A and B are shown apart, each in its own frame.
Chain A
Amino acid sequence: MIYREAGQFKTSYGADQMIFPILQDRIFVILAVVAAYLVPLIANEYWLQAVLIPFLILSLAAIGLNLLTGYAGQLSLGTGGFMAVGGYMTYKITTAFPDLNVLIAVLLAGLIAALVGLVFGIPSLRIKGFYLAVATLAAQFFILWLFNKVGWFVNYSPSGTITAPPRTLLGIMVTGPEATAPVRYLIVLTFLAFFALAAKNLVRGRIGRSWMAIRDMDIAAEIIGIRPYQTKLLAFAISSFYCGVAGGLYVFCYLGSAETEAFDIALSFSVLFMIIIGGLGSILGSILGAAFITMVPIFLTNAPPLIGLSMPIDLQKHIEVMLFGSLIVFFLIVEPRGIARLWQIAKEKFRLWPFPY
């Protein structure tokens, strides 16, 4: 009834190519973004720190991986490694240049992560599918080992831990122990909003189309004039850039201090889960998937006490793991194309409601 596109005519090519061609969609998105910016007014410290900040940061990483896996079709299990590059390099840059704006440090670290991604993307030319996935694990293990072993990356701190130094932005403390959760939330949110928009524009332009052509059939894409080498490497670089930025934020705005364990293979897998559950080849899906994967464990931890069930802590942990696994399998069976697809179906239904004929 409310959600109708009738009467909205497209009178220019620009209007035809809009990201949200329907007026109601635009209003909804603007409202959602404004609401997201207003959240710190109502949310408490726990929600911001334990739920929303990691959710936003992992959304960013998921978008990065989705560009590579969902759009360019290159399966990667090295996300944690690339995020680690971002985290450690941000630390290295901001301690080496204390006066540098910390946001610029994060972006520079992202660029370094992009370079690393380029290097580990080189095998993708010859190796495909699961062989490539396992090959990217080499990146994961090698990068973490390097950060563990070479003292230079952690400024020779004996514990091997990197700690976000206090930095200000426009006179407000944004990182370090003094920074308040709402400030960090707003920074992360701004990063996500900007980069999600950038990604959305990237994938509907020439680059995104060539990625999709490579994904669907690389030989055919090559024949119509897309260079597989450059296209695949570009996908690796941009994806690693996103992951690197997410990694920098992960250390500076969420963890505060980190060791390499924070970026281990479990992180790679959970980001991969996000894009599969959310929907491959969908920016919105990456965000929805990140929401699902970060919130379900929290829900599972808090649900049994809420309904008055109490059990030993380790038993509860095991049952949680089990439920999480079964939920994933269940979701894959019900909708292999992810939550983004469910969202799309819901929208279609809503367009016809309440007169479906």
Chain B
Amino acid sequence: MEILYAFFVAPFVDMASDPIFFSEVVIGGVLTGIMYSLVALGFVLIFKASGVFNFSQGVMVLFAALTLVGLMEHGVPVWLALILTVMVMIALAFAVEWIMLRRLVNQEEIVLFMSTIGLSFVLQGFGETVWGSNVKLLDVGIPNESFEVGGILLNEFDLFAAASGALMVTVLAVFFHYTRMGRALRAVADDHQAALAVGIPLKTIWIMVWSVAGMVGLVAGIMWGAKSGVQFSLSLIALKALPVLILGGFTSVPGAIVGGLIIGVGEKIAEIYWGPLVGGAIENWFAYMLALVFLLFRPQGLFGEKIIERV
């Protein structure tokens, strides 16, 4: 009975007894969730347009942040470093398409998946060879002050991250819906062959999405890098983005956002209210379990395309 009480009643009593702390936890979760979404977005973009499950997205985040920091350490002003990093990411997209994807067209999904893992090794090695592997501090001048609203402690940096995440998503949504390129992208995502038939250049589209994913990676890299320093472990947030991805569905941009929020909030609440009961450090697997339970009811994720199978 006591165990049942501790698991199913006490946490809720805690939540109700201290609503301010609870809302701080939720807000903290939302803000982390947006950061997860930023990483998951990169995955979704590439999967949607090319069906490649791009495992190297995490390393792309690291690589972008490393390049930015490395340039800044050499005395390049922030704005110039940003532009140069964007150019590097675009160059990377070209290189990936030319060297790797072009030769793997029509291969099985798992082969493409493995090749992106290979790519992540290359990128990681390359980034650290060029820029060194010590922990670097990233400071692009984002304010970092805490202030209080109605008793709830907020951090400017987190808000800034959330705002830029929201901006990113809006820009992407507009881009997808109203530009010529965006329409082409959606067409490719819908049906490769039909898109080819109406004359959409598939290769250009691929370079395009990899570049966009690179830039999304850059934004994620700036946010995470400014928060916890630029180092190898940055690439591991890809593992955090995976449950977000399956929760929201591989093919859905809104899914990445909502999934990120659910995982972010769920993880924080579980860690704080249930974590101590089972010995803590549950955030490593909690997100996966949460996603797994969701998947049992909706195998394609919350917003994924319905999987229709025919013989």
Report yes or no: B295 in contact with A127, Cβ–Cβ below 8 A.
Answer: yes
Cα A148 to Cα B309 with chains together (Å): 41
What residues of B have a CB within 8 angstroms of the CB of A141 in the complex?
Answer: 284-285, 288
- Give A70's nearest chain B residue, CB to CB: B110
Report yes or no: A325 in contact with B288, Cβ–Cβ below 8 A.
Answer: no
Report yes or no: B121 in contact with A333, Cβ–Cβ below 8 A.
Answer: no
B109 to chain A, nearest CB (A): 7
B288 to chain A, nearest CB (A): 4
Say which residue of A142, A145, A318, A336 sits within 8 Å of B133 (CB atoms): A318
| Contact digits for A62-74, partner B, Cβ 8 Å, 1 yes 0 no | 0000000100000
With known contacts A135-B246, A318-B125, A336–B311 Cβ distance under 8 A: no
Query: Does A198 touch B at the CB level, under 8 Å?
Result: no
Report yes or no: B242 in contact with A322, Cβ–Cβ below 8 A.
Answer: no
**How many cross-chain pairs have Cβ atoms below 8 Å apart between A and B?**
139
What residues of A have a CB within 8 angstroms of the CB of B299 in the complex?
Answer: 126-128, 131
Query: Does B107 touch A at the CB level, under 8 Å?
Result: yes
**Which of A109-117, A156-164, A217-225, A248-256 lines the interface with chain B?**
A217-225
What residues of A have a CB within 8 angstroms of the CB of B110 in the complex?
Answer: 69, 75, 276, 280
The prevalent SS among residues of B at the interface is: helix
B123 to chain A, nearest CB (A): 8
Residue among A280, A315, A325 having the largest count of chain B Cβ atoms under 10 Å: A325
- Give A338's nearest chain B residue, CB to CB: B111
Query: Does B189 touch A at the CB level, under 8 Å?
Result: no
What residues of B have a CB within 8 angstroms of the CB of A318 in the complex?
Answer: 124-126, 128-129, 133
Query: Does A104 touch B at the CB level, under 8 Å?
Result: no
Query: Does A134 touch B at the CB level, under 8 Å?
Result: yes
Please count how many residues in chain B sit with their CB below 8 Å of the partner chain's CB atoms. 52
B229 to chain A, nearest CB (A): 18
With known contacts A141-B285, A322-B126, A332–B301 Cβ distance under 8 A: no
Report yes or no: B291 in contact with A130, Cβ–Cβ below 8 A.
Answer: no
What residues of B have a CB within 8 angstroms of the CB of A137 in the complex?
Answer: 239, 242-243, 288
Report yes or no: A128 in contact with B115, Cβ–Cβ below 8 A.
Answer: no
Query: Does B92 touch A at the CB level, under 8 Å?
Result: no
With known contacts A129-B109, A336-B107, A273–B117 Cβ distance under 8 A: yes
With known contacts A123-B295, A128-B307, A134-B242, A325–B122 Cβ distance under 8 A: yes
Query: Does B20 touch A at the CB level, under 8 Å?
Result: no
Cα A328 to Cα B119 with chains together (Å): 9
Interface residues of B in 252-311 (CB under 8 A from A): 278-282, 284-285, 288-289, 291-292, 295-296, 299-301, 307, 309-311
B89 to chain A, nearest CB (A): 18
Query: Does B250 touch A at the CB level, under 8 Å?
Result: yes
Size bracket, chain A contacts: 35 or more
Report yes or no: B295 in contact with A333, Cβ–Cβ below 8 A.
Answer: no
What residues of A have a CB within 8 angstroms of the CB of B100 in the complex?
Answer: 329, 333
Say which residue of A130, A135, A322 sits within 8 Å of B250 (CB atoms): A130
Report yes or no: B109 in contact with A326, Cβ–Cβ below 8 A.
Answer: no
Query: Does A38 touch B at the CB level, under 8 Å?
Result: no
With known contacts A126-B295, A217-B311, A333-B100, A131–B300 Cβ distance under 8 A: yes
What residues of B have a CB within 8 angstroms of the CB of A69 in the complex?
Answer: 110
User: Interface residues, chain B, CB within 8 Å of chain A?
Assistant: 53, 99-100, 103-104, 107-111, 113-115, 117-126, 128-129, 133, 239, 242-243, 245-246, 250, 278-282, 284-285, 288-289, 291-292, 295-296, 299-301, 307, 309-311
User: Interface residues, chain A, CB within 8 Å of chain B?
Assistant: 69, 75, 123, 126-131, 134-135, 137-138, 141-142, 144-145, 148-150, 217, 219-220, 223, 265, 269, 272-273, 276, 280, 314-315, 318-329, 332-333, 336
